[in-house]
Structure formats: C-alpha cells, structure tokens
Structure 1
Amino acid sequence: MNTKQFMITPASGKRLIAKALTNYIPVQEALESGTVVIIAGTTNGYIAEEILSGIGQIDGFSRKRFFRGIVLPPSQPRTENGRLPDDTEFPGDVVIVNGKWKKGLTIFDVADDLKEGDIILKGANSLDVNRKKAAIYIGHPQGGTILASLETVVGRRVRLILPVGLEKRVSTDLDELAMKLNSPGAQGPRLLPVVGEVFSEIEAISSLTGVKAEIVAAGGVAGAEGSIWLAVTGRDQELENAQKLIKSVSNEPAFSLLKE
C-alpha cells in the first residue's frame, strides 16, 4: 500500500462528487425503477448535470440558477436570506421518476408519493468530517426543503444522501452549534443537523477507485481558495485510477452565475 497527495478545488470537488453519485449503485437502481429527487443547490447542480447527461435528458437543464439560497461575496447582489434579487429563473428541483425527468416539479410536489427505495439528494452547509454528520442552514420559517424531505425519511424510509464538499467542514459539534444558532435572541439562519448519508470528496474518490482518502491540508490563492489536499492510500492500480480520476476534474472552472 502506498500514499499519494492530491489537491482538489471546490469546483473540482463538486464535479467529483457528481461523477461518483451518478455511478453509485443505489442511485442507479432508483433511476431505473423508482424516484430520485435532486433538490436544488450548487453542488447538486453538478449532480443533476451528470445524471441527466447519463440518461440522455440534459436538454433544458442549466445549473446556473439551480439553487434557492447561495453564499456570495459582499460585492455581489443578494438578499438577507441568501437569495438573489431575481428568482424568476429558478427551474425547480430535478425529479426523475422511472428514468424520466419530470420537469418543473419540486420536492414539495412529490414528497407524499415517495417510498422506500427512492432517494433524495440534499446539499448541506456544515460538515463534521470525523462523525460523518452534516447540518443545513434554515432560512424558511417552516423549515424549507429539508423538513419536507425528513418526513419521507422518517415516515417511509426514503434514502437521504447529503452531497457536501469538504470546504464546509467545521470543528465544533453540530448539535452544540444548532443549539446556539436556534436559541431565542440569536440572529441569522438557523441550523439543522440531519441524519443522512454524507457524501463528500472522501466518499466520492473511495467509491470510484477503492482507495482510502483523508484530508491533510487546505487552502490556496489565485483561484485555489477553499481547496483541500487529500492523502490517498491504496494499491498501485487504485492509486493510478485515483490520479486519472482527479486529473479528469482538475480543470473544472469555478462556479459562475453567468449564463452559459
């Protein structure tokens, strides 16, 4: 067993997670005979892009407005809850039923019909890497898309997968953070830790190549801001496959709000 190190930018990480989930057996099974709901979010935009391309239905999809809330630099226009001033181009979530994209639907339209074996993909805002636990910012007074999702998970055993990049890692216990942010008198978004299957760059590269990956360093400048360094351990062929995989996503451009 040997170890190599690789740098992954946030955009490359999103593409890597998307490629891995597209090839993830539970997702493939649900695409064939079930329902997959990809809830709008920037990372999930890459996932929707990969999945829709894989089933030959990419026409009409763009990830440029595939989100409800977004974090932007102070110089960019946005509202207090993270939304853009103009939401008219929001396309809805991506709902795929028995391999067919049902355009224009959202999680709220299909939640009552979801059943065991179906899958919801929902992004997250905070990640506890060691515990493999994630939490989601809540801006909506009724809890938004995650509460609609949790009804199906707890009530009917729908599978919840949480694609989240390692740049969102935090060091404090998520339950403690939630208690602080959700307390009366606190300001800003609330925080909801959720039970689901965390799927970061670590899980992505492991599922595609069989290696063991761990984050060992982070940071960068001039376009590498938010990057991570992964130490990847495996057999020679596994490491070669991991290197080819990471190289294939290494030139992924940074996310942009500009139209394609």
Structure 2
Amino acid sequence: MKALITLTTSESKRLIAKGVTALPCVQNALEKHTIIVAGGTSNAFVAEELLKIQIVDKTGYTVGIVTKGELGISHSSKKTTPYVITEGQAVGISWKEYLPKLQVGDIFIKGGSAVDHTGLAAVMVSDSTGGTIGAAQGILYARGIQLIVPIGLEKLIPDVRVAVEFMTKSPLDEAFGHKVGLIPMVGATVVTELTALETLYDVEARCIAAGGVDGSEGAVTIAIEGLDEEIQRAIRDIKSFKGEPQVTVQ
C-alpha cells in the first residue's frame, strides 16, 4: 500500500519529535543515562515527547529565531530553560553545568538550520564564540557522545559543505537582522520526517514535494509505502496531531 501525507511545519516537528523519542539509543538513554535537550523550537517538541509535558510558548525554548523575514533572537516572556534529563527525569542542573560530565551513553540533542541530501546538517550562530554547538561540539567529539539533530525537510538546502565554505571565506558586512555564522555538525544523527516515519513504522518514506500557502508555507508532501496495516497505523497516528498549532511569537 502506498499513501501520501502532507505535513505543515508544526506537524513535521511533532512527528520528528516522536521519531527522536522512539530511537533505540534515546530509549536507552532515557532509562540509564542523561539526555541534554538544547534550545530550539524543534527541541521544545522533543522535550514535550520525552517528558510528557506541554511547553506553551515554544519560542521561549530558543535563543536564535527566524521571524518576520529576519534573523533574530527570541524575546519571549515565557522562557523555558533547556532540559537535562537523567534516567527519564528532568534534573535541576543547567546544560552548561552538566556538559563536562557527559559520558558514553549520554545524548546531546541540538536543532539545526540547514540539512542537505547527504544528511549533513548545520546550525546558524550569532554568538561570537559559537553558541551552544560551539560550547558542546568539542566535548561530544572527544568523548564519543552521540549528537542527534531533529530537523525538518523545510530546511533542505543544496549543499551544506559549500554553504559553510562560502560563509567562512570572508566576513559578513550586512544582514537582515542579526549577522550569523554557519557551523556544520559532522557525524550527527539527523532525524527528518523520513527518518521519523521509518523509525516509527515499517515503511519506506520519500519526500516528493514541498511548499504551500495560507499557513502551509514550508509544508512537505511525503509518500510512504508498506504493508496495509503499517500504512493505516501511520495514518491514524498522524491524524491524531493533524492541526498541530503553528509556532508563533507570543
């Protein structure tokens, strides 16, 4: 059986969050280790799924944000501090404080700004020292800590490596909003809508189109194929979060 699914950006974020939560490595970390869910609107969905909570203003779970056609920072009045989850429970320690304690089996989750067809992801940073990924990446690489990047196909660009090289060969002079750099996240486990669908269900998934209007800007249309019962299960589950509220600045 083959079916088409169209997802708005918020519906994609919900699906991806469910897919991240279902990853065997994440389930293992939830039971036995620690997960850092760094800032980001997609990560707000991930935190909700991992902790079974609700984050009303997801723009309060991020610093950097793209809104009103500009690169900027969140001015939300409902800030939520990024969660550190140990053995399935949120603990009262900041991610920066826990960072030096990371060990094998722990997981670091960080959203991205761009992904390409090879699965290489990158994140924009306005902080001159590299922001969250600048602080974490050295420790992650040195200790063999798994980095997971939840990212929607709305952020698909032609070539992340070319984009990074272009951005680093000379400084920015002007920008709409904040000036940013672009940091690649080599070796990360990238989770898109396709990864999520193939993790949650025994299906093959392919993105066949993207875009829309009237609230469906950034939407993706995905074809899935598999046994009838798996396709029907996927459709039932997706119907349960169809109409996921748009992430808006509050």
Whether TM-score is above 0.5 comes out as: yes
- Kept in 2, the 8 Å contact 1:91–1:104? The answer is no
Which of 156, 166, 170 is the matching residue for 1:184? 170
The residue that corresponds to 1:114 in the other structure is: 102
- Kept in 1, the 8 Å contact 2:19–2:191? The answer is no
- Kept in 1, the 8 Å contact 2:64–2:125? The answer is no
Q: Return 5+ residue gaps in structure 2 as ranges.
A: 174-178
- Within a 5 Å distance, the mapping from 1:212-227 to structure 2 comes to 212-227=204-219
TM-score scaled by length of structure 1: 0.88
What SS does structure 1 have at the residue aligned with 2:147? strand
- Kept in 2, the 8 Å contact 1:180–1:186? The answer is no
Shift in alpha-carbon separation, 1:144–1:185, aligned structure 2, 3 A: closer
- Within a 5 Å distance, the mapping from 1:27-46 to structure 2 comes to 27-46=26-45
- Within a 5 Å distance, the mapping from 1:1-260 to structure 2 comes to 2-53=1-52, 58=53, 63-74=58-69, 82-84=72-74, 86=75, 89-103=78-92, 105-106=94-95, 108-128=96-116, 130-171=117-158, 173-187=159-173, 188-195=179-186, 196-258=188-250
Structure 1 Cα separation of the partners of residues 86 and 199 of structure 2: 25
Deviation at 1:90, TM superposition (A): 3.1
Structure 2 Cα separation of the partners of residues 60 and 100 of structure 1: 16
- Kept in 2, the 8 Å contact 1:36–1:95? The answer is yes
Deviation at 1:18, TM superposition (A): 1.1
What SS does structure 1 have at the residue aligned with 2:72? coil
Deviation at 1:183, TM superposition (A): 2.1
Identity of aligned residues (%): 33
Deviation at 1:24, TM superposition (A): 2.0
Structure 2 Cα separation of the partners of residues 249 and 127 of structure 1: 25
TM-score scaled by length of structure 2: 0.91
Shift in alpha-carbon separation, 1:256–1:87, aligned structure 2, 3 A: closer
Shift in alpha-carbon separation, 1:229–1:69, aligned structure 2, 3 A: same
Deviation at 1:143, TM superposition (A): 0.9
Deviation at 1:23, TM superposition (A): 2.2
Name the Cα RMSD after superposition: 1.9
Structure 2 Cα separation of the partners of residues 186 and 63 of structure 1: 29
- Kept in 2, the 8 Å contact 1:68–1:90? The answer is no
Deviation at 1:60, TM superposition (A): 8.3
Q: Return 5+ residue gaps in structure 1 as ranges.
A: 75-79
Structure 2 Cα separation of the partners of residues 241 and 103 of structure 1: 37
Deviation at 1:94, TM superposition (A): 0.7
The residue that corresponds to 1:77 in the other structure is: none
Deviation per CA, 1:219-260, whole angstroms, max 9, x where unpaired? Answer: 1111111101001111211211221122122111111233xx
